Amino acid sequence: MEPSRHLPVTLSVNGSQYPILIEPRRTLLDALRHDLGLTGAKKVCDMGDCGACTVIVDGKAMYACLLLAVDCDDREITTIEGLATGNELDPVQEAFIRADAFQCGFCTSGQIMSLRALLDANPEPDDDQILRAVTGNLCRCGAYPNILKAGRLAADLQAQAASNGQ
Amino acid sequence: MPEIRVKPKQGENGTELELIEDEGVRAWAPDADLQIVGQPHPRLEGREKVTGRARYASDVRLPGQLYARVLRSPYPHARIVSVDIGKAEQAPGVRAVIHAGNVPRIPWYEEGVLFESTVRFVGDEIAAVAAESEEQAEDALRLIEVEYEPLPFVSTIEEALAPDAPWVHDDGNIAGEPKTYERGDPDAGLRDADVTIDAAYSTASALHNAFESHGCTTFWDGDSLTLWDSTQAIFVIREQVAEKLGLPEHRVRVVKHHMGGGFGAKQIAWKHDVIASLLSRQAGRPVQLMLDREAENLAAGNRNPTRQRVRLGARRDGTLTAIVADIHQASGAYRTGGEASNVSGTYQTLYNCPNVRTEQVAVYTNTGPAVAFRAPGHVEAAFALEQAMDELARTLEMDPVKLRRQNYSEVDQLEGKPFTLPEGLRLSYDRVADAFGWGAEKPPPSSESKRRGVGFAAHDWSGGTGHPPGYAWIELNADGTADVITGTQDIGTGTRTGLAQVAAEELGLPLDCIAFRLGDTATGPYSPVSSGSATQATIGPAVRAAAAEVKAQLLEVASSVLEVGADRLSVRAGRILVDGDEERSIAVSAVTEKIRPHTLQGRGARGPNPEDKTIRTFGAQCVELEVDIETGEIDRLRIAAAHDCGRIVNPTLVDSQVVGGITQGVGFALTEERTVDPRLGLVLNANLEEYHVPTVADAPAIEHARVGVPDSEANSTGAKGIGEPPLIPTAPAIANAVYDAIGIRFREGPLSRARVVAALAEQRAQGEGSRP
């Protein structure tokens, strides 16, 4: 190892701080998967085509393969591992299971994060907004109709939970 | 102990022995009152997959793990003069470098070796590096100095067959023996026909693009090797890797808990499995070798491109008198042994016809090796045959569904045996036509530049039948829960869930009392590759047999506990029921707790398929779409599908398979095409940017008209496969609908925007030219 080639960066992921020393060329995706051991975000195309690596950065769904980790110092990052509260699933996660919105599951983390970002910004999306939220997330198994159903169901589950909480 | 017979059979290598084992259970009656089989149920692994915890091959993290990259040929054909790894070995973080000069000559493919001295496609393996990080491994690859002597090459079937073509291998460009088949007198059938069709079709090479690339994480403990592999066939990988490395099979463990798609391309051991193992041995550290997207698309399989000349003869009433198909398929640079691409099959069996001839010739090209891709061969054949049938229907001015009904076969014409469910295809025709509204008046197009069309296509599939061998073990725990163990794998289709439902049904336990374990050669009994849509039909009966054995023991114990004859006992929903005496029913756990710490154990083997009948899967699809005659865009797809997959074990999973298969069919029909530069031999779209798989916005409206008639003669569960069939008829049904819309026949696939625009321009030019 040549320390001179590495830079210090503190990643703020799922509410925890991770000070790490990495090469400047390392993507956020590789930093998450290799330095932090958070393997939920998947590497498929590694060039911003497929969305399997989608995470939420400062409230927006972003492709982790297109961000350099050193540029993410102190940005708020949420990954699929950060959605559930203990054993309780996020409504988007719950909806994906109920709607059978995946087969192999490899694109699923990215799909869920895109919809999570949508619902954070807009808790009452219409069907077109749901579709637009996942247009940047490919699914090779072709679970698309159920992914859209899951988006709708997630919005409903979230609204229900909100009204129950009031 | 069930009876086991040894039966000789003729195999590829002479006489082989087949072990015939009775399952010991009768098939569920078609109208059996089943509680769990047939019900929708979410996937058992759902929670793992939505939380990011599901561990795929690329997610394995072991202490000291290294990351590997493979140096691949930049030339489609070249002799390697020299390889110098000196600088790479000294590069930061590098722990192992291998190439032809420092590893054994491990035999590979037909006559080849692991690292060839002549590379034959862009992407062919030359050397590999393991380093502390992927980035460092990539840096080191650039320091490997290779001197190449480029050689002339061929990229396409036409180039490979040209008289003066350069040879891919020393013995020419024809791969293996041509496969020929003939019955009756096809020439007379064509001669005596009232109407003939003679047309040449071609299909492109589609790329699987499973989202998890091929790859593995390997780890040596002394002389024992473990591979976490992204594979459809853990036991095949174990056998092949053991053979390549000279290891006994019990020293190789292959694990695959989850896989990010395979679609046929992951059923053999690929070079990277052995490369990772060799790097790991050299470095003395675990090694992860995942192919990047480009390598995945260059070197890990593709659907073979085909050229098919199809001739049909028919009488005026539509009765077929001859089917003749001359087929060429491109194997790529090597024959992998995992192609399974029988393009001829559909011509031989889908329609009743006394006179059939097929000739199938495989051709080498300097492109990546082809391998099975979801319904290999049948997808390609259906594109041609089902368009030819449409052309015939139009020539005869006959409804295309009626034409197919006219040529219905209830028997397997290859073997002369009836099908186990001879009405399977007819039911598919009925259901799909009904659901779609076939024959109803077409609604007007959505705008002035649009033309609307409808199309139909049928299919058969030789897979989906299931077969021996395949085994399962079940342990009924003292608390009344059960562990079900098999060595099969869930490739993303829902195998865990479908098989657990079979176990729960037979055991009479609720589904949440079942733990289903698979995907590890160290724990599970042998299961074959998950391919051919076979897994549910292969392992389901083995699971059921194991459960039946456990259940018999359970009822024996219950008989002692309840002091009632076992023949009066049954088990349902976790309770032992006494025939005619409801009040004496007790929980299963109340019985099993009595024998704690003993457990009840059962073993099941997949029995033989029937000898006097042929099992097959069939289906049909109807498509409605619009073509924009100004932009060439094809959209507003509405597709109805009906497929005979026997008993539907879990409608949720079957619906998802149908929707997913059709979606891939839409890609094959409209956008998916590997593009090779003819001057350089380079693949121009080995990525997901320029190779277009369907997006959510491309997804058609799909209606699955379930057939769901149990095929009780096929196996004891009555279920057949559904994984591959839905992809088969989609592309020809789309092409037929496009013809219906704009009167242009696309015999070359896919029907890309460029091809449609060009054909529309030609149509306009001809129209203008013919004007007075």
What is the Cα–Cα distance from B744 to B754, expressed in whole angstroms? 14
Residue B770, classified by CB atoms within 10 Å of its CB into exposed (0-12), middle (13-18) or buried (19+), is exposed
Sort strands A16-22 and B112-113 into parallel, antiparallel or unpaired.
unpaired
Q: Exposed (0-12), middle (13-18) or buried (19+): which is B95, by Cβ within 10 Å?
A: buried
Report percent pLDDT > 70 for chain B.
Answer: 99
Per-residue pLDDT averaged across B404-433, rounded? 98
Residues B348 and B413: beta-carbon distance below 8 Å: yes
* Tokens 């990525």, located at residue: B687
Both structure tokens of B148: 């190449």
pLDDT band at B88 (very low <50, low <70, confident <90, very high): very high
The pairing of strands B306-314 and B320-332 is: antiparallel
Contacts of B736 (CB under 8 A, 6+ apart): B386, B387, B390, B400, B453, B455, B456, B457, B623
Q: Considering CB atoms only, which of B133, B212, B659 is closest to A106?
A: B212
For the beta sheet containing B482-486, the strands, ordered from the edge strand earlier in sequence to the opposite edge, are B514-517, B482-486, B471-476, B600-605
Check B693 against A138: CB less than 8 A apart.
yes
Distance of CA A71 to the CA centre of its chain: 18
User: pLDDT at position A166, please?
Assistant: 58
Q: Mean pLDDT, to the nearest integer, of B613-632?
A: 97
> Which among A33, A37, A80 is the nearest to B51, CB-wise?
A80
What tokens were used for B767? Answer: 């129209």
- Which residue positions in chain A have pLDDT lower than 50? 1-3
Instruction: Kindly state the DSSP code that residue B525 receives in the 8-state scheme.
Output: P
Instruction: Name, in order, each residue with C-beta under 8 angstroms of B246's C-beta and a sequence gap of 6 or more.
Output: none
CB-based contact, A7 to chain B, within 8 Å: no
Q: Is B1's pLDDT higher than 60? A: no
With cut-offs at 50, 70 and 90, classify the pLDDT of residue B772: very low
* Out of A94, A138, A141, closest to residue B492 by CB: A141
In 3D space, the residue among B350, B323, B338 whose CA is nearest the CA of residue B616 turns out to be: B350
Residue B439: closest CA among B399, B412, B472, B493: B399
Q: What angle do CA B208, B211, B213 make, to 5 degrees?
A: 80
Domain A91-165 sits in CATH 3.40.50.300:
no
Q: Test A143 with B93 for CB contact under 8 angstroms.
A: no
Asked whether residue B15 carries a pLDDT value surpassing 90, the answer given is: no
Query: Could you say which DSSP state residue B178 is in?
Result: P
Q: Where are the domains of chain B?
A: 64-151+212-260+266-299, 306-464+612-767, 466-605
Q: CB distance A142–B662 less than 8 Å?
A: yes
- Alpha-carbon distance of B400 to B455, in angstroms, equals 9
At residue B2, the pLDDT reads 63
**Closest among A141, A149, A66, A152 to A106, alpha carbons compared:** A141
Nearest-by-Cβ selection for B42 from A46, A100, A140 = A100
Chain A residue with the nearest C-alpha to that of B650: A100
Q: Which two tokens stand for residue B381?
A: 């054949």
Residues of B in contact with A38 (CB under 8 A): 52
| DSSP structure class, residue A34 | I
CATH architecture, range B466-605: 2-Layer Sandwich (3.30)
Give the number of beta-carbon pairs within 8 Å between A and B. Answer: 170
> What stretch of H or E contains B294?
helix B293-299
Encoded tokens for B683: 């693949």
Return the closest-CA partner of residue B424 out of B709, B20, B79, B87.
B709
Q: Place domain B64-151+212-260+266-299 in its CATH homologous superfamily.
A: Aldehyde oxidase/xanthine dehydrogenase, a/b hammerhead (3.90.1170.50)
**Architecture label for domain B306-464+612-767:** 2-Layer Sandwich (3.30)
Is the distance from CB of A118 to CB of A130 less than 8 angstroms? yes
Residues of B111-150 as b/e, b for ≥16 C-beta within 10 angstroms?
A: ebebbbebbbbbbbbbbbbbbbbbbbbebbbebbebebee
How much is the average pLDDT of B493-499? 97
> What pLDDT does B8 receive?
86
Q: Which of B39, B43, B50, B658 to mutate to test the interface with A (most CBs of A within 10 A)?
A: B50
Tell me what the mean pLDDT of segment B563-591 comes to. Answer: 96
Burial classification of residue B348, based on how many CB atoms lie within 10 Å of its CB (0-12 exposed, 13-18 middle, 19 or more buried) = buried
Q: Please give the Cα distance from B406 to B517 (Å, whole number).
A: 47
The percent of residues above 90 in pLDDT, for chain B, comes to 95
Determine whether the interchain pair B55/A81 forms a contact, defined as Cβ–Cβ distance below 8 Å: no
Looking only at Cα atoms, what is the longest distance across chain A? 55
Q: Which amino acid makes up residue B394?
A: R
pLDDT of residue B340 exceeding 90:
no
The answer to whether A26 faces chain B, any CB pair under 8 Å, is yes
> How many other CB atoms are found less than 10 A from the CB of residue A73?
13
Q: Which residues pair with B361 in a beta bridge?
A: B328
Residue A34 touches partner B, C-beta closer than 8 Å? yes
Q: How many Å lie between the alpha carbon of B665 and the closest alpha carbon of chain A?
A: 10
Distance from B112 to chain A by nearest Cα, in Å? 30
Chain A, nearest residue to B93 by Cα: A1
Strands (E), B491-588: 514-517, 569-572, 575-578, 586-587
Q: Are B625 and B734 in contact (CB under 8 A)?
A: yes
Domain boundaries, chain A: 3-82, 91-165
- A residues 113-152 near B, CB within 8 Å? 131, 134-135, 137-148
The mean per-residue pLDDT over the stretch B82-95 comes to 98
d(CA B743, CA B441): 18
pLDDT at B767: 85
pLDDT at A66: 98
Residue of A nearest to B46 (CA): A97
Positive or negative CA dihedral for A53, A55, A61, A62? Answer: negative
Between positions 50 and 69 of A, the ones with CB within 8 A of B are 50, 52
- Rounded to a whole number of angstroms, the distance from the CA of A99 to the nearest CA of chain B is 8
Find the CB nearest A25 among B43, B59, B135.
B135
Place of tokens 């070798």: B289
| Amino acid identity for residue B26 in this structure | R
| Contact of B722 with B658, CB cutoff 8 Å | yes
Find chain A residues with C-beta within 8 A of B670's C-beta. Answer: none
Partner-chain contact B93 A38, CB within 8 Å: no
What homologous superfamily does CATH list for A3-82? Beta-grasp domain (3.10.20.30)
Judge contact between B482 and B550, C-beta under 8 A.
Answer: yes
Task: Provide φ and ψ at B621, rounded to 5°.
Answer: -135, 150
Which are the contacts of B142, defined by CB distance < 8 A and separation ≥ 6?
A: none
Residues 6+ apart with CB under 8 A from A132: none
pLDDT number for residue B9: 82
Residue contact B261–A140, C-beta within 8 A: yes
Residue B444 carries which DSSP code? P
Closest to A64 (Cα-Cα) out of A13, A96, A27: A27
> In the prediction, which pLDDT does A1 show?
45
Backbone phi and psi for residue A13, each to the nearest 5 degrees, phi listed first? -125, 125
Out of B260, B263, B699, name the one closest to residue A144 (CB): B699
Q: Which residue of B696, B704, B730 to mutate against A (max A Cβ within 10 Å)?
A: B696
Average pLDDT value for residue range B657-669: 98
Mean pLDDT of chain B: 96
Residue A106 has its nearest CB partner, among B93, B133, B260, at B260
Pick from B212, B492, B663: which is nearest to A144 by CB? B663
Residues A38, A85: Cα–Cα separation, whole Å:
16
Q: Rounded CA gap, A16 and A18, in Å?
A: 7
**pLDDT tens-digit series, residues B139-181:** 999 999 999 999 999 999 999 999 999 999 999 999 999 999 9
